[in-house]
Amino acid sequence: MKKNSCSMLLFCTALFALLRLPAFAQVKPVGVFDSSKDIGSVLKPGSASYNPKTQEYTIAGSGYNIWFDKDEFHYLYKRMSGDFILYTHARFVGEGVDPHRKVGWMVRKDLEGNSAHINAVVHGDGLTSLQYRKAKGDSTQEIKSSLTGADVIQLERKGNTFTMRVAKFGQPFVTQEVSNLDLGKDIYVGLFVGSHNKDVLEKGIFRDVRLTVPAPDNLVQYRQYLGSNLEILDVATGNRETIYTSPKSLQAPNWTPNGKTLIYNSDGLMYTFDLASRKPKLLNTGNVKNNNNDHVLSFGGKMLGLSSGVEELGGSIIYTVPVTGGTPKQITPRGPSYLHGWSPDNKTLTFTAERNGEYDIYTVPANGGPEKRLTTAKGLDDGSEYSPDGKYIYFNSNRTGTMQIWRMKPDGTAQEPVTKGDFHDWFPHVSPDGKWLVFVSFLKEEVQSGDHPFYKHVYLRLMPISGGEPKVIAYVYGGQGTINTPSWSPDSKKVAFISNSADIAAVPVK
């Protein structure tokens, strides 16, 4: 009898393990996330999936709520430690049943239903808030945003401070913050959907998902670097696609006029990136191997202009080389000289130079010759670029105390501001069809007007060339190297740019 009892016990144990296999099989990676699961005692099981073609996540979740002393929802999560920035563009599927259905980011101490946590959430009725539970089983607290109907959601941790940044796509972030919230070093981070109705499954779709590990406070600029994501942005929709990642610093992608190749710099060298094979290849620039992110293609794309550091000549020197590679030709005799644009007839280069303690815009013949100074205002003038029709040179200047986009005629006359100065705006790039202007905007609370460092919160903004209110088309962790050079696609529909993270594996590439 004892033997039979043991046999029966072994049989039941094996059967129980077998019955658990389907549930165990669901514990598998979903995109960049470790797994997904229902949190709390949900009535209707949820699910999560990832579409590598669109780089989108779809989550279905039920549950009574995320509130009071316990939660019920579906969670797509990843274990992380240290500081991070979580970003997504989210939307509900369908009209929904309850106005308080929820989508957003959540950080939890554990996977129990009553865990301490914080979440940046958008409700079905548009209510946008930062919700948090300080300790296990405590009641949930809430800070409501002044913004309703956000679809861009970002949640950032720095130590025990959590910052929610939310926006309606196209607008700058609105910010709320909770400090002194200790969730531990190793925590769960992820996306979630809750239906606010135990009998209903609701769905949310999340695109442009980015899990960024930011630079530490002690990072030394220009000596230490984070990894890079090479991204392509659809200007009309704001959709972003990560096409390549590298643990190295990639900077300033140019887009060739045939639409087939990008060109960028990394570790002082130049690389071509084939958009069909999605593989980089070293571009031969002879002995010029200290190239920075001020490199520009000629109109027509036959020549590539370089800026390369030469210490004995005073810093960055401008060269030109065939786009297929070869021996570069030196153009400027002294530095620092930073190239930014070719004239449409390919006869003239425009660049920033420091002469006698002042940084101004200059031009020089593309084959070499005397340089001509175009700006004389006190302050920094930089980022000069010709419009495709050759009628204007656009540039950025902090002569007013704020870095703004300006323009002038090719001879330097009629200098006038283009942007208002709500942010520090850098590196204007005119679309090939001449209709649009894209540029990078730094936050005034993060940088000084004369600086454009790596690894900051920046916006890529778009405005009609005829003027108007700029629109945010990308919310990026980057800055220096993100979009220093002209990077429009030849059909004026897309822009290539660089974002950064200390953990480049946090972005899946199809």
C-alpha span between 510 and 125 (Å, rounded) = 34
Q: Which residues contact 61 (CB under 8 A, 6 or more apart)?
A: 38, 42, 46, 73, 74, 75, 192, 193, 194, 195, 201, 202, 204
> 482 with 476: CB under 8 angstroms?
yes
C-alpha span between 509 and 88 (Å, rounded) = 16
Domain over 30-212 is classified CATH 3.30.465.10? no
- Counting DSSP H helices and E strands in the chain, the numbers are 2, 39
Supply φ then ψ for residue 465, to 5 degrees: -65, -25
C-alpha span between 192 and 113 (Å, rounded) = 13
The structural domains of the chain, with segments of one domain joined by +, span: 30-212, 227-506
Helix (H) or strand (E) holding 73: strand 73-81
The rounded average pLDDT for each run of 10 residues, N- to C-terminus, in the chain (510 residues) is 42 40 59 98 98 97 98 98 98 96 98 98 98 98 98 98 98 98 97 98 98 97 97 97 97 98 98 98 98 98 98 97 98 98 98 96 98 97 98 98 98 98 97 98 98 98 97 98 97 98 77
Tell the CATH superfamily of the 227-506 domain: TolB, C-terminal domain (2.120.10.30)
| Residue 425: per-residue pLDDT | 98
CA-CA-CA-CA torsion sign (355, 359, 363, 367): positive
Q: What is the pLDDT of residues 111-169, one digit of tens each?
A: 999 999 999 999 999 999 999 999 999 999 999 999 999 999 999 999 999 999 999 99
**Half-sphere exposure (Cβ direction) of 340: Cα atoms closer than 13 Å:** 28
| Residue 2: per-residue pLDDT | 41
**Burial tier of 292 (Cβ tally within 10 Å: 0-12, 13-18, 19+):** buried
C-alpha span between 507 and 510 (Å, rounded) = 10
Cis peptide before 29 (omega within 30 of 0): no
CA distances from 449 to 219, 220, 355, 377, 426 (A): 21, 20, 20, 15, 10
Best CA proximity match to 234, nearest among 459, 506, 491, 499: 491
Best CA proximity match to 122, nearest among 157, 76, 90, 79: 90
| Mode of pairing for the β-strands spanning 84-92 and 152-158 | antiparallel
User: Cα torsion at 400, 435, 173, 226 (round to 10°)?
Assistant: -90
> 257 with 300: CB under 8 angstroms?
yes
Q: Distance from first CA to last CA of the chain, Å, rounded? A: 59
Supply φ then ψ for residue 44, to 5 degrees: -110, 115
Query: Token pair for residue 454?
Result: 């790596």
* Three-state secondary structure readout of 426-476: EEEEECCCCCEEEEEEECCCCCCCCCCCCCEEEEEEEEECCCCCCEEEEEE
C-alpha span between 510 and 497 (Å, rounded) = 18
Q: What is the pLDDT of residues 457-478, one digit of tens each?
A: 999 999 999 999 999 999 999 9
| Residue 7: per-residue pLDDT | 44
Supply φ then ψ for residue 22, to 5 degrees: -60, -40
CA distances from 231 to 198, 436, 509 (A): 39, 20, 10
Any bridge partners for residue 471, and if so which? 462
3-state secondary structure of 401: coil
> 483 with 252: CB under 8 angstroms?
yes
Best CA proximity match to 455, nearest among 267, 257, 290, 229: 229
